Amino acid sequence: MSWQSAVACWLLKKQFRPETLKPHVSVERARAHAASSFRRARVPAGWRLVVRDRASDAPLRGEWLERKGDRERGAPVRTLFYCHGGGYYFCSPSSHRPLVFGLAARCGAHTFSLDYRLAPEHPFPAALDDALAAYRRLLADGTAPDSIVVAGDSAGGGLALATLVALRDAGDPLPAAGVLFSPWTDLAATGGTIVSNDGLDPMFCGAAIARAAKFYVADADPTHPYLSPLYADFAGLPPLLIQASSTEVLLDDARRVAERARACGVPVQFEVWPNMPHVWHLWAPFVPESTKALERAAQFVRAHARERTPQVALDAAAR
């Protein structure tokens, strides 16, 4: 464990964990905290960022990051479809730029970071509906499915996995792979590490998981496989990379998915990183382990997604 990781854990224990110890989750405080505490990230040199935040931009509302000149040259590209974390009720593509920019630059993939609707104003299945609509629009605009990797962290990791399950069930062409960072896959909050890692996790107390889940679950069954993809049948899904920390309360959400997916014949690369904070990838490049984890994820993306020249010009991504 690097000293930088120790500093990150200390800061989270001082700034974030006290909020999760409170008996009631405040959406307003969480959103204000996210807006004020996440670090700004510079667009990588040689890349450009296009923000699509108008109502008319739906279903591709979010942020596009692309390498300059690729579109003009008609260069073959890989595409990352990214779902940010934040419990389904806070955070945004902009809060997750340190992670998304770092991953995109390392694997050389154009990246769409989805700005899905948030709970409690928009409970399940709003986020999933947004993800499905955006993915299908990518394909309609000429992006080859075998060039796409669907990725996400925390709640976004669960959303990414639920998107894969729903696409398979609907008979849609599946992407090349999925990448899940500290995924939240069980909104019924039954994982054993919610108890055993309570007090070890520098970010969350175990009891906060069930409380936060209520915003997105609302009146739905928390074990619905599109809401909590842990309960889905994983047969036929593309290869998965799952990274989680040994001390996070959501470790079992990742571990049980890895076990069940393997049992269904899905190729799974499951990595448990010791003593890291939840979604430590967000601390790149300050924390060395964050950079290493993103590098491993980039290797996975390059190994599974093919570079393809879009059938339709990428102008659709930047209008």
Each residue's pLDDT tens digit, 153-207 = 999 999 999 999 999 999 999 999 999 999 999 999 999 999 999 999 999 999 9
Encoded amino acid at 44, one letter: P
Cα–Cα distance between 259 and 230 in angstroms, integer? 10
Task: Kindly report the number of other CB atoms within 10 A of residue 313's CB atom.
Answer: 14
Higher pLDDT, 58 or 48: 48
* H/E run at residue 216: helix 207-217
Distances (CA, A) of 63 to 54, 83, 88, 233, 315: 11, 11, 18, 31, 14
Task: Kindly report the number of other CB atoms within 10 A of residue 263's CB atom.
Answer: 11
Mean pLDDT over all residues of the chain? 94
For domain 3-318, say whether CATH 3.40.50.1820 is its number.
Answer: yes
> Among 20-24, 203-207, 279-283, which stretch is predicted with the lowest mean pLDDT?
20-24
pLDDT at 37: 65
pLDDT at 55: 77
pLDDT tier at 281, thresholds 50, 70, 90 = very high
* Closest listed residue to residue 242, CA positions, set 192, 300, 163: 300
Whether the CB-CB separation of 59 and 65 falls below 8 Å is answered with no
Mean pLDDT of 131-159: 97
Mean pLDDT of 252-261: 98
- pLDDT for 86-120, tens place per residue? 999 999 999 999 999 999 999 999 999 999 999 99
Q: Where are the domains of the chain?
A: 3-318
Whether the CB-CB separation of 218 and 119 falls below 8 Å is answered with yes
Active-site residue set: 154, 248, 278
Query: Long-range CB contacts (< 8 A, 24+ apart) of 268-271?
Result: 268/239, 268/240, 268/241, 268/242, 269/239, 269/240, 269/241, 269/242, 269/300, 270/242, 271/241, 271/242, 271/243, 271/244, 271/296
Question: Does the structure show a pLDDT above 90 at 58?
Answer: no
